[in-house]
Amino acid sequence: MFRENLDIVSQVNYYHASDLCRENQGHLVSTRTTEKMQLIQSFMNADIPNIWIGANDIQQEGTFVWEDDGSPMTAQQQLELFRPGEPSDGGPGNTEDCVSLYYRIPNLNDATCHSTYAFVCEMQIVVTSSQAVSLELPVLLSSSIQD
């Protein structure tokens, strides 16, 4: 399901991560279920402590949308996926509009979009055969490892 060799590059802000995923015909990973979030988290560690998730409330404060299709995050998803007390929109100027996942806490957090984290791109791969198969594969393109 995942690539075994992860590409370690550098950490980037949410906007750059989103752009890089789109340039590679993908999008930031959408963790719409706790199972998928935990699966993504299982590939994280102290070297990759935070990653960007494809959700934000940039357009309308308090309304988080999934980047892959623009659909709103449901109230049930917010309750199940965000850690208690989140989203908090904390920080100066209430600018926590982008969503991240931290490896030690199995829940999402809203963060300032200009913070720099690793990210996971989700890409659709179509296999041509007698029957077309369509898979979405999350791929880690960047990490927060520094020299």
Tokens of 134: 């369509």
In a domain, 9, yes or no: no
Return the bridge partners of 1, or none.
Answer: none
Query: Confidence class of residue 4 from pLDDT cuts 50, 70 and 90?
Result: very low
In a domain, 45, yes or no: yes
Encode 66-94: b = buried (16+ Cβ within 10 Å), e = exposed. bbbeeeebeeebbeebbeeebbeeeeeee
Whether pLDDT at 9 is above 80: no
Total structural domains within the chain: 1
- Look up tokens 């055969």; give the residue: 129
* CATH at 131: 3.10.100.10
Domain that holds residue 43: 14-142
- pLDDT tens per residue, range 82-95: 998 899 886 556 78
DSSP for residue 113: T
In a domain, 4, yes or no: no
Whole-structure pTM value:
0.79
In a domain, 7, yes or no: no
In a domain, 129, yes or no: yes
Whether pLDDT at 2 is above 50: no
Query: Confidence class of residue 133 from pLDDT cuts 50, 70 and 90?
Result: low
In a domain, 2, yes or no: no
Query: Confidence class of residue 47 from pLDDT cuts 50, 70 and 90?
Result: confident
